[in-house]
A and B are shown apart, each in its own frame.
Chain A
């Protein structure tokens, strides 16, 4: 669906309207930061990558022809910034092995009023996913983040990352299998997750 308001902001920003661009920043800041956070893991790195991606978008807007959605173009810039940053500072090492650092991510729970025990369990499962994502190569991680968190279609991911569709399918499949293997090896994810899912479904 075409968002007319967004189209107006884009058009105005292309002509140099910073106020219009700030509206685009407000709309996409969380998505861009979330993508950068999963790619880079550390909040300060994610902020740095986002601080590069948005000004890049601003400067590149006159070249943006609108053939892809603005969001997918922005994700591509973000992903490129993250990969550049990881390469530049050789921060891949941060992704090796599980590292449960509760301070690094502030993850609330979507379910309403969970008990402290449930919240702790869910938080632990999410941390396991986060750590599992960090165990993957950036190429696998980015497709899974775009698919599972940003819920882009395969075509949109291909557009965002300038990949062909076959590569996207292959990376999603391999990334998932590696993540699954990581979670299987790391212990209690699947029994806990399955029981939590059954509890939720039983409550419906």
Chain B
């Protein structure tokens, strides 16, 4: 038991070089005059001398190979990869329906083509890409060019980046996800406590319910115009710096 009046909690940081020179100096002066603390320091240094070295251990046979065999059995599937695949299929179907509506509308209404129907070619292309990539998305991490959640006609990641902060894509469909894109720097500490639903090279996705506190903060910061209806899902995509 150390009965010395010296602050014993400083002895270990002193021994470990964790004290500033200003703090270490009085510690050294004290040690020179206190046999009790000197004895403690000597004992700790003796213990340190005979602590085993991590290089001394002998690895089990085929250690790394066995680990890599386990790694091969555990592909880097994201926690919500499968739902994402299902979402992609659903979104592709939805896209097809919307395109068909665009195609039919002029005939049904007897009017000229609306501006909104200009997109079908790109839209079909994206929808097809989503459908085609659905299988491979489960197996391999998404490439940067992988289509994002297709809530709009231009749903590639490149297109989403162009929207920038402060713009959101409010959907006309009541059950559709609202897409918000922003950079990490723009959000700051807003997303620190949020659990991502998917992480892809270049961006991270968060699925949020409209009643979550972070949604109100997104409105405050101008990423959303207003807090959406209760049933709405907000898909927040955070672009890596």
Contacts and interface: CB of A to CB of B under 8 A. Distances in A.
Interface of A: 14-16, 18, 21-22, 25-26, 29-31, 33-35, 37-38, 43, 47, 50-51, 54-55, 58-59, 61-63, 105-108, 110, 122, 125-126, 128-130, 147-150, 153-154, 169-170, 172-173, 176, 179-180, 183, 189-190, 193-194, 196-197
B141 A15 contact: yes
Contact of B18 (A54, A58, A129, A153): A153
Interface stretch (B42-50, B91-99, B223-231): B42-50
A101 to B, nearest CB: 14
B44 A176 contact: yes
Nearest to B50: A125
Contact of A31 (B9, B54, B67): B54
In the A-B complex, the 8 residue pairs with the smallest Cβ-Cβ separation, listed nearest first, are: A34-B54, A193-B46, A106-B58, A125-B50, A148-B51, A54-B67, A173-B12, A55-B70
A122 B56 CA distance: 13
Given A62-B76, A106-B56, A122-B50, 11 more contacts: A16-B75, A18-B72, A22-B68, A25-B67, A43-B60, A51-B70, A55-B67, A107-B52, A150-B54, A169-B12, A180-B43
A198 to B, nearest CB: 10
A63 B64 contact: no
24 contacts: A16-B140, A18-B71, A21-B68, A22-B68, A29-B63, A33-B60, A34-B56, A50-B63, A51-B66, A54-B71, A58-B71, A62-B76, A105-B52, A106-B56, A126-B52, A128-B50, A129-B47, A153-B16, A169-B12, A169-B13, A169-B18, A173-B12, A180-B43, A193-B50
A173 to B, nearest CB: 5
Contacts of A169: 9, 12-13, 18
Given A154-B16, A194-B42, A173 B8 contact: yes
A107 B58 CA distance: 8
A148 B47 CA distance: 9
B184 to A, nearest CB: 10
Contact of B50 (A43, A129, A147, A173): A129
Contacts of A183: 43, 47
Contacts of B74: 55, 58-59
A102 to B, nearest CB: 13
A128 B48 CA distance: 12
B102 interface: no
Nearest to B201: A15
B156 to A, nearest CB: 19
A154 B15 CA distance: 12
B76 A61 contact: yes
A50 B63 CA distance: 9
B67 A176 contact: no
Contacts of B45: 197
Contacts of B201: 14-15
A149 B51 contact: yes
B173 interface: no
Given A58-B76, A154-B16, A173-B9, A33 B51 contact: no
Contacts of A31: 54
Contacts of B67: 25, 29, 50-51, 54-55
A119 B42 CA distance: 22
A153 B45 CA distance: 17
B57 interface: yes
Given A147-B16, A169-B9, A176 B71 contact: no
Contacts of B116: none
B52 to A, nearest CB: 5
Contact of A47 (B48, B52, B60): B60
Contacts of A196: 49
A146 to B, nearest CB: 10
A148 to B, nearest CB: 4
Contacts of A173: 8-9, 11-12
A148 B50 CA distance: 10
A129 B53 CA distance: 12
Nearest to B40: A180
